[in-house]
Amino acid sequence: MASSQTTRWLWRNVTLFDGLEQLPEPMVVLVEQGRVAGLWPESGFDPSLARGAKEAASGGVMTPGLVDCHTHLVYAGDRAGEFEQRLEGVSYETIARNGGGILSSVRATRAASEDELIAASLPRLDALLADGVTTLEIKSGYGLTVADELKMLRVARRLGELRPVRVLTSLLGAHALPPEYAGRADDYVSLVCDAMIPAAAREGLADAVDVFCEGIAFSPAQCERVFQAAQRHGLAIKAHAEQLSNLGGSALAASYGALSADHIEYLDEAGVQAMAEAGTVAVLLPGAFHVLRETQLPPIELLRRYGVPMAVASDANPGTSPICMPTLMANLACTLFRLTPREALAGMTAHGARALGLGLGRIAVGAPADLCLWDIQQPGELAYAVQAGRLRQRVFNGEVAYAR
Ligand code: NIG
Ligand code: FE
C-alpha cells in the first residue's frame, strides 16, 4: 500500500556532514521507510540503485537533524526586567537569592494552564524547528510541586505530538527551593525523591531526571539522593553542574552513570577524568555563558585530551538563555569556547544525541532519517555566519516535514 511512510526520497549532489565529519565528495542519499537506505558518492552513481525514488532536492549541505539536548522550553512569563537589572550590575545569584530568577518563572508557570503553556511554548518550538531541530529535550523545573512539575512534563509531551519532532523530557524538580520549603531543603528533596520521581515514572512522563547542583540550588549530598531515586525508577540521570562554582557535581553525576553533565565552566581535571571514565557527555551551553557575561571558560582542552564527547545546546530558558536559535549556539561555541566548527556541529548532532542516550545524530546507512538540507556551500558556515532562513528542507523520520 502506498502510504507516505513508504515514499522513497533521493537527494543528489549534497555536501554531507555525517554528524562527526564532512565526507570528502558530493553524495547521493536515499531514504526509505524512515531510514537512510543508501549513501553513494555522486560521481559514478548508478540511478538503477534507487529506481522509483522521488528526487527530493539536489545540491546544498546535508547534516543530521539538529539535536538540542538541553532546553527549558516550557515556561510562562519572561524575565526581561532581570536582564536589565543584570546589565546594571546585579548578579544572577543576587537576583535568585532575593526571590527572583528561577522562582519568578515558577510563579508564572504555576499560574498557567496546560493550554496556556502550550501557547507560550509553541512559538519557541517553531523557532527551533525552523533552525533545523528534529530532536530536543525539554526540562520541567518551573513547577516545583508534584502537580506543576507533571503539568510541565505533560505539556512537553504534547508539544512533541503537535509538531513533527522528537521530544525527550527531564524531570528537574531539584531546580530551585520553592518558597514554601524555605529552610527545609532536605524535606523538599524528599518530595522530589518520594513523590515527584515516582509519579513521573509511573505516568511515563520523564525520560530522565536532572538536578541543579549549585550553591544557590542543591548540594551534592542532596543531588545524590535524587540520583538514587532516579536509579530506583529506571530513569536516566543528567546534571546542571559546575556552572557558577565547583562543587564536584559532575563527578558525582558521572559516578551514577549520568548521560551528561551540563554547563561545567568550573569543571576541574578530576571531574573531566570522572566523566571520561563513565562516558558522560559534556554539554556546553554557550548561550547561558554569553547572556550571564561569564568569564570562566569550560575546560575545553582537557575535555579534548580525555576524549569526553562535547555536545552543544541552547539551554533555551527565560533567565540565562532566552535564545531559540541552535545555529547561533554553534557560532557562540566557536567564538566563546573556541570549538572548531566541526566540533560545534558534532556537538549539535552526534554528541547531542548521545547526551540523550539516543543513537541518532548520524547520517549512515540504516540510521533514522532525521536530516537537514541547508542553502550553504560548506557545513562550517552554520557556525560561521548567524543567519536565519538557511534551512531548505527538514526531514523528520524519513518524511520531508518542512520544505521552502
Ligand atoms: O540552565 N542553571 C540553572 N538553570 C537554568 C537557568 C534557569 C533560569 O534561570 O530560569 C540554566 O541556566
Ligand atoms: Fe539549563
Per residue in 50-84, pLDDT (tens digit) is 999 999 999 999 999 999 999 999 999 999 999 99
Query: Is 142 marked within a binding site?
Result: yes
Handedness of CA 100, 264, 287, 171 (dihedral sign): negative
Topology (CATH level 3) of domain 66-355: TIM Barrel (3.20.20)
Q: Output the CA 281–ligand 2 centroid distance in Å.
A: 15
| 69, 124, 212, best to mutate for ligand 1 pocket (most atoms within 8 Å of CB) | 212
pLDDT score for 7: 83
Per residue in 168-224, pLDDT (tens digit) is 999 999 999 999 999 999 999 999 999 999 999 999 999 999 999 999 999 999 999
Q: Output the CA 96–ligand 2 centroid distance in Å.
A: 15
Q: Whose CA is nearest to atom 3 of ligand 1?
A: 212
Could you give the count of Cα atoms lying within 13 Å of 230 in the half-sphere of its Cβ?
Answer: 28
Give the architecture-level CATH label for domain 8-64+362-403: Roll (2.30)
Q: Which atom of ligand 1 is nearest to the CA of 318?
A: 10
For the chain, give every domain's residue range: 8-64+362-403, 66-355
Q: Output the CA 212–ligand 1 centroid distance in Å.
A: 8
Beta pairing, strands 399-403 & 391-396: antiparallel
Query: Is 351 marked within a binding site?
Result: no
- Ranges under pLDDT 50 in the chain: 1-4
Q: Which atom of ligand 1 is nearest to the CA of 105?
A: 10
pLDDT score for 5: 53
- Planar angle of CA 67, 397, 150, nearest 5 degrees: 60
Give Cα separations from 374 to 51, 324, 331 (angstroms).
Answer: 25, 18, 16
| 138, 172, 175, best to mutate for ligand 1 pocket (most atoms within 8 Å of CB) | 175
Give the ligand with the smallest distance to the CA of 214: 1
Q: Whose CA is nearest to atom 12 of ligand 1?
A: 320
Q: Which atom of ligand 1 is nearest to the CA of 101?
A: 9
Q: Output the CA 199–ligand 2 centroid distance in Å.
A: 22
In the numeric block, which cell numbers belong to residue 80?
A: 526581561
| 70, 95, 240, best to mutate for ligand 1 pocket (most atoms within 8 Å of CB) | 240
State the CB neighbour count (10 A cutoff) for residue 202: 9
Name the nearest CA neighbour of 190 among 175, 173, 204.
Answer: 173
Which pairs with CB-CB distance under 8 Å and at least 24 residues apart come from 89-97?
A: 92/244, 92/292, 92/319, 92/320, 93/215, 93/216, 93/244, 96/176, 96/216, 97/216
Q: Output the CA 71–ligand 2 centroid distance in Å.
A: 6
Contact 285, 315 (CB under 8 A): yes
Place of cell 508534584: 146
| Ligand 1 binding site (Cβ under 6 Å of any ligand atom) | 72, 101-102, 105, 212, 240, 243, 288, 315, 317-320
Q: Whose CA is nearest to atom 1 of ligand 1?
A: 315
| Residues, beta carbon < 5 Å, ion ligand 2 | 315
- What sections of 283-386 are H helices per DSSP? 286-291, 300-305, 326-337, 341-347, 350-354, 381-384
SS3 for the chain is CCCHHHCEEEEEEEEEECCCCECCCCEEEEEECCEEEEEEECCCCCHHHHCCCEEEEECCEEEECEEECCCCCCCCCCCHHHHHHHHCCCCHHHHHHCCCCHHHHHHHHHHCCHHHHHHHHHHHHHHHHHCCEEEEEEECCCCCCHHHHHHHHHHHHHHHHHCCCEEEEEEEEECCCCHHHCCCHHHHHHHHHHHHHHHHHHCCCCCEEEEEECCCCECHHHHHHHHHHHHHCCCEEEEEECCCCCCCHHHHHHHCCCCEEEECCCCCHHHHHHHHHHCCEEEECHHHHHHCCCCCCCCHHHHHHCCCCEEECCCCECCCECCCCHHHHHHHHHHHHCCCHHHHHHHCCHHHHHCCCCCCCCCCCCCECCEEEECCCCCCHHHHCCCCCCEEEEEECCEEEEEC
Q: Output the CA 102–ligand 1 centroid distance in Å.
A: 7
Give percent of the chain above pLDDT 70. 99
- Tell if the pTM clears 0.85, that is, is over it: yes
What are the backbone dihedrals phi and psi of residue 5, each rounded to the nearest 5 degrees, phi first? -65, -20
Q: Output the CA 273–ligand 1 centroid distance in Å.
A: 25
H-helix or E-strand spanning residue 63: strand 61-64
CA-to-CA distance for 212 and 239, rounded, in angstroms? 6
Query: Is 231 marked within a binding site?
Result: no
Give the ligand with the smallest distance to the CA of 292: 1
3-state secondary structure of 2: coil
Contact 315, 288 (CB under 8 A): yes
Query: Is 85 marked within a binding site?
Result: no
